[in-house]
Amino acid sequence: MEFWGVEVKAGQSLIVKPGNEKLIHLSQATLGEIKKDKASENVTIFLKIGDQKLVLGILSAEKFPQLSFDLVFEKEFELSHNGKSGSVYCAGYQAYGDDHEQYPSFILMLAQMMKNFPWPLLRMENQARRM
């Protein structure tokens, strides 16, 4: 597994090719620097896979300058946005196809830990604070 990040410039799209036996995990999109007169402008992020174009989300410098995702791609995709100035930065990690086979065991382990966590104690503490 290794870090992965790209810059999608205004007015341009970026084609991402995961590569042979690789996966791209898209974790976050963030607005780059924006001119003050454009700060109130919303920026829509688009994802195109094949002929299908989808909206990933909407960024706002004032309200939500970054979005979190949990998306995994094994095939080529295209990122773009409608911002007039500035860039959108996307980050995540790249993994080999074999790496994703480790996740089910990790998820099972996490589920077991959550099952054994003392949830009632937390509820009692929260109720005690309210009194």
Note the pLDDT tens digit of each residue in 73-104: 999 999 999 998 889 999 999 998 765 555 55
Cα of first residue to Cα of last residue in the chain, in angstroms, is 48
Note the pLDDT tens digit of each residue in 2-18: 999 999 999 999 999 99
Q: Which CATH superfamily is domain 2-101 in?
A: Nucleoplasmin core domain (2.60.120.340)
Question: Which pair of tokens denotes residue 81?
Answer: 């946005």
Note the pLDDT tens digit of each residue in 22-61: 999 999 999 988 776 666 789 999 999 999 999 999 999 8
The domain segmentation of the chain, as residue ranges, is 2-101
Note the pLDDT tens digit of each residue in 66-76: 999 999 999 99
CA distance 77 to 93: 15
- Does the pTM surpass 0.85? The reply is no
